[in-house]
Chain A
Amino acid sequence: MNGKAQSTAYKAEPSAQNSEQGGAALTIKGVGVDYSTAEGTFTAVERVDLDIAAGEFVSIIGPSGCGKSTLLHSIGGLIPPTRGEVEFRGEVIGEPHPDRAAFVFQDYSLLPWKTTLDNVALGLQFKGVSKGERRARARDLLRTVRLEAFANSYPAELSGGMQQRAAVVRALAMDPDILLLDEPFGALDEHSRRQLGVEMAELLTTTGKILILITHSLDEAVFWGDRVVVMGASPGHVKEVMEISAPRPRAVDFMLTDEFVDARRHLLELSRHDLDGEPEPAE
């Protein structure tokens, strides 16, 4: 469905690998997730079908309880889907594989008893990379987000924005094909959130990786995504998929363009229509 060539600086992916899925590198095929609770079975995600091309950024937005985080965890192999499957280049993603899909979790996901450096090197440590090598690589990555001076600081000494920058490069340290961002800037104030968002979106665009961003913020969804997937609740389902054609990386000025404003208005109307009373927690 989204076979259109993105004109920006993605790494060109060999088309042979894509051809099988008609251009899709990541295929979410009829994925549904049920939880069993004391009261019975609860359907968090009913059914989601989504094809994502190499290098594509997809934002997922929706009200609380629409199962968007659950869907993201399923894509990364953390929650096995009850129905359907997630395939990357024809291979089913079962267990978490940080080399394939790495997470950036919500606020304060750094381990408080490890230094920033060792937090960034965490995935490499689990992979068995030697201490010297993983620290050297982590140090290089910290430099890309201007945190080299805080390599030996503990997370509590870092601001929320700095912690999330470290969390982003911790995911990059795995050099994954897919980045899964679960409301990564949700705990920041609006100003740092926008600033960091713009900076991180640019940094991650240059990597050419697939990126899926879960967010509550309409602005963030439109700013980051080549597509915005709008989910509805009870049970979680895809309501609409919206294309944002502006090339990435996008500058802050993109937020002043008609495309941005129109897309944002459309999303706002969508969320207003069927939330009946539940306020959209955007912004």
Chain B
Amino acid sequence: MSAIARTAGAKGSAGFQYGLKLWALRALLVAIIAGAWSYAAGPGGVADILLPSIPQVAAELGSLVKDPVIWRAAGLTLGEMAIAFVLGASLGIVVGLWAGRRNLRARVTDPLLAWGYIVPSVVFYPLFLLWFGLGSSSKVLYAAVGAFFPIAFNTIRGLKSVDPKFVRLGKAFGASKRQLDVSIKLGAAMPMVLSGVRIGVALTTIAVILGEMLAASAGLGFELAKSFNVLQTARGFAVMVILMVLVGLVQLVANRALSHFRH
């Protein structure tokens, strides 16, 4: 209890000063990066086509956010991410629970899932393009694979590493086999499942963007690749900024949603 009291106390003036310092240093870091960028892109520096200046990127960004094409692209990319994640995560959890329930199943599937997790899933992408074409479905399915493996793998690993004392406790208090699975084993495996989900979210966003960049006719990844291909570098930078904000928002929403599960 004293630890809690101490943490609360630290939120006083000392904590405020520390926070101020923290943010000042962060601002300084950003300023250094911006300064180096401005210097490099400045007079006598790198050509615009390689490194546009900050005002140029800002101007591009300003016109892009007014462009309905970009909003449609962002909507498409976000939609692909959402569908891919839901698909991959649900399948990953279902397969993970199914396999993790029985030792034999877990041992049979574990190496395969570990392998699927370790191999960069981009190697499957050409296959998805061949099967499902250049449209959204190839991106969605490819990204779903990216989400599936870490989630399935972590779910099995979580179920396999449940502390036997929790299982014994459940049995002692009269849990049925089903109650043991749901209330004890899944509860104990939850932190591991959630970390799999977190990795799944990250891999989904990467896979969708990469998929669009490599071969697509729409989406922010496509816009990004196109801008650089035609040497509209400032536009490319602006799309990059949009993507960074978008992925940041996706992560934020995912983290918020996942933190509810803990309790």
Contact = CB atoms under 8 A, between A and B. Distances in A.
B176 interface: yes
A60 interface: no
B173 A98 contact: yes
B179 interface: yes
A170 B172 CA distance: 12
A157 B188 contact: no
A235 B184 CA distance: 33
Contacts of A114: 187
A122 B176 CA distance: 12
B242 interface: no
Given A125-B183, A126-B179, A126-B183, A109 B169 contact: yes
B166 A111 contact: yes
Interface residues of B, number: 20
B174 interface: yes
Interface string A149-180: 00000000101000000000010001000000
B155 to A, nearest CB: 16
Given A125-B183, A126-B183, A111 B173 contact: no
B174 to A, nearest CB: 4
A45 B143 CA distance: 56
A127 B1 CA distance: 33
Contacts of A96: 171-174
A98 B166 CA distance: 15
B188 A105 contact: no
A122 B187 contact: no
A70 to B, nearest CB: 12
Q: Which of A109, A111, A174 gathers the greatest number of chain B CB atoms within 10 Å?
A: A111
A114 B85 CA distance: 28
Interface of A: 76, 78, 96-99, 102-103, 105, 109, 111, 113-114, 122-123, 125-127, 157, 159, 170, 174
Interface of B: 1, 4, 165-166, 168-176, 179, 183-184, 187-188, 190, 262
Across the A-B interface, the 7 shortest Cβ-Cβ residue pairs: A123-B173, A103-B172, A98-B174, A126-B174, A126-B175, A113-B187, A98-B173
28 contacts: A76-B172, A78-B168, A78-B171, A97-B174, A98-B173, A98-B174, A99-B174, A102-B173, A103-B172, A103-B173, A105-B168, A105-B169, A105-B172, A111-B187, A111-B188, A113-B190, A113-B262, A114-B187, A122-B169, A122-B183, A123-B174, A125-B183, A126-B174, A126-B179, A126-B183, A127-B174, A157-B1, A170-B173
